[in-house]
Amino acid sequence: METKIYDASTIDEAAELLKAGDLIAFPTETVYGLGAIASNDEAVKNVYKVKGRPSDNPLIVHVSDREIAKYVAFVPQQAEILMEAFWPGPLTLIFPMKEGIFAPTVTAGHNTVALRMPDQEQTLELIRKTGFPLVGPSANTSGKPSPTTAQHVLHDLSGKIAGILDGGETQIGLESTVLDLTNAVGPIILRPGAITEAQLEPVIGKLAANAGTANETEAPKAPGMKYQHYSPTQPVILIDGTTADWKAAIEECHDQGKEIGILASEEKLTAHKEAVRATFSLGPKADVTVASQRLYAGLRYLDEQPVDVILVEAYDPNGLGKAFMNRMEKAASAKYPKK
């Protein structure tokens, strides 16, 4: 199968392929999604197959407007407020599912469904022209760093999907915040993202506490809760320490004969770039927005370099930094200093 690149002038063709049950990757403001029409169970099953995604890991459905009552059992008042405040945008909301609307495979056996309206006009137009919402998990091999360019999608899925709608590099670079509105204890963030707790609480009040994980026997209610994610082929070590800790980690890798790649702030790269084989900048240390936007591109770049291990700088786990650290803690095989 040839994977064709589409743009704004050829969206009609991409939409026709989706209607026919083919898979088309599309850009969002967060990462690229792997699209299939959400009412076609065979197409949705193919999304799982192409990605190698576990069958109990539910999919997020992407809609083109806020008129969602036809897709869910009911729309809570909190959801109306949240959609007005944050849609289109990087916020996924979990609703009670309405029977017979979406393909059974979409929800992975749950009686809930996750919806979001992406802030990407080309993709909103693609959904409108397709005539039905699209599933859109990250358009990559399951478990690997999510794609933030069409070229990343091609790297993982060339020859496996019909096409890619190229919208350039994504702006945010981390997957959406997932907020569960169906829990009896109140709204719960199941996956942190660019819409933070500090932004949500002034709009709908205090959120309930949640660990954001699922154990080995539970089916995850949202993506990113149970399985290892975001990992390149090379092992990742998350460095959360002093300059002395960085020097010690580099020396330990050298003692083991390992070539090192560093994914870190400009400040860290300046201090250590002479001691390693390859580097990728996350921008100024003070700007976690830039670091988050560059994270997956950096992991992918270093994975293509002649290195044996990738050292990644930790960030303050507050605000957007919480989402950054959530992804890195899932990607890392070890932390330094060891605790």
Q: What is the pLDDT of residues 130-171, one digit of tens each?
A: 999 999 999 999 989 999 999 999 999 999 999 999 999 999
| 146 is annotated as contributing to ligand binding | yes
Distance (Å, rounded) from C-alpha 119 to C-alpha 214? Answer: 29
112 is in an annotated binding site: yes
Q: Which one, of 166, 127, 163, 131, lies nearest residue 149 by Cα? A: 166
Q: Where in the chain is the domain with CATH 3.40.50.11030?
A: 236-336
Write the Ramachandran bin of 290: left for phi over 0, alpha for psi from -120 to 50, otherwise beta: alpha
State in words which class domain 4-204 has. Answer: alpha beta
Mean of all residue pLDDT scores within the chain: 94
Q: Work out whether strand 24-26 and strand 163-165 pair parallel, antiparallel, or are unpaired.
A: parallel
Give the pLDDT mean for 198-219: 75
292 marked ligand binding residue: no
| Overall fold of domain 236-336 | Rossmann fold (3.40.50)
What radius of gyration do the chain's Cα atoms show? 20
| Residue 191 known to bind ligand | yes
Residue 223 pLDDT grade (very low, low, confident, very high; cuts 50, 70, 90): low
Order of strands across the sheet with 24-26? 4-6, 163-165, 24-26, 33-37, 134-135, 60-62, 112-116, 91-96, 177-180, 188-191
Tokens of 180: 């569960």
Residue 92 has pLDDT above 80, yes or no: yes
Q: Is the peptide bond before 223 cis (omega within 30 degrees of 0)?
A: no
- Measured between alpha carbons, how far apart are the two ends of the chain, in Å? 48
What is the rounded (10 degree) CA torsion for 217, 38, 230, 141? Answer: 100
Q: Are 26 and 136 in contact (CB under 8 A)?
A: yes
Sequence-distant (≥ 6) Cβ neighbours of residue 80 within 8 angstroms: none
The H-assigned helical ranges of 131-225 are 150-157, 197-204
- Min mean pLDDT across 13-17, 54-58, 80-84, 100-104 is at 54-58
Q: Is 116 annotated as a binding residue?
A: yes
- Is 62 annotated to bind a ligand? Reply is yes
**Is 300 annotated as belonging to a binding site?**
no
296 labelled binding-site residue: no
What is the pLDDT, as a whole number, of residue 89?
Answer: 98
Which regions of the chain carry the CATH code 3.90.870.10? 4-204
pLDDT score, position 217: 47
Burial of 5 per CB tally in 10 Å (0-12, 13-18, 19+): middle
Would you say 196 is a known binding-site residue? no
